[in-house]
Structures are given as C-alpha cells and as structure tokens.
Amino acid sequence: MQVNLVLLKKNGATKTISLSGPLTTIGRQQECTLCVPLMSVSRRHCQIEMENESVVIRDTGSRNGVFVNDQRVQEARLQAGDRIKIGPLCFAVQVNGQPTTESLIPAAPEAIAAPEAKVKKLAKEFAEGDDLADLDDLVSGGQGNTTLEAPLSDMADEKA
C-alpha cells in the first residue's frame, strides 16, 4: 500500500510527500519523519501508522490538535481523500494513487459561487501570485526525513 500526503497550497498548487515506512511522525522536532518548523505545530504533533492495510493518525498530545475532515480527533482511521489539518497546513490523503492529485486541486476562483467582491478579491490574489513560485524548493530530505522549509506562511490556510 502506497500512502502519500499531498500538501495543498492556498493557490491550488500541491506537493506530494510519500510515507515510506510503517510509522511517520510529524512535528517541529528535527527527529520527526516530517519536520514542520512552525510554532503552531507541536514538537511531536502526531503520527501516522500503516497497519494491516489501514492508515491511522494519532494526536500525540499536540497543543493545537489534529483535524480530519474539519473534526478534531485523537485517533482516526484515514481514507483516501480525507483532509488533514496540522497547524496551518492542509494535507489530502492519497492511497495507491487515489484520489488523483489533479482531482485534489480546487476550482479556480471564478468558479466559486460567492459574492462578486469576494470573487474579484480572490481573482486578484491569484493573479498577483502571492504564493511561492516553486514548491520544489519547499521539501528537502536529510537522514531519511523530510523538512518543510520556509516560507511556510505562503502555504498555510489563511484561517489558521
């Protein structure tokens, strides 16, 4: 079973992070499998475990919690397509290539049913390209671990 976390940027861009072992730890500590250097992420925020063809996420005592599909959880079995929120970052769960990365990208701002002023604001932000130009610069490996690098504020959900 191949499990990926797909980091969803607020501009619709994505970055796929493969979970290679049976246990993935996520947090601020360098020792975590996925290091997220943000103060809103606990040192050891959560862990994702693959066990018997299922994927389980567990909050490991984080201060700001772990959210699956907008519900705060202590532990939850993950399904393909679930959305995980850790601090200000949002990830989609991809299992064996499903759902496809393309299907995870939200509709363009023009397609969002919203008041005209909101649509214009979103279109302007999108056109200005206030997000990172190149997501490939965000992830670097070291000792088998992955670190999300600054400026993470450009990747964070604005509501966080």
pTM: 0.70
pLDDT of residue 143: 46
Give me 87's structure tokens: 């601090």
**Cis peptide before 115, with omega less than 30 degrees from 0?**
no
List the pLDDT tens digit at each of the 160 positions of the chain: 899 999 998 888 899 999 988 999 999 999 999 999 999 999 999 999 998 889 999 999 999 999 999 999 999 999 999 999 999 999 999 999 999 888 887 654 444 444 555 545 544 554 444 343 333 333 344 445 676 764 454 555 544 4
**At 53, is the secondary structure helix, strand, or coil?**
coil
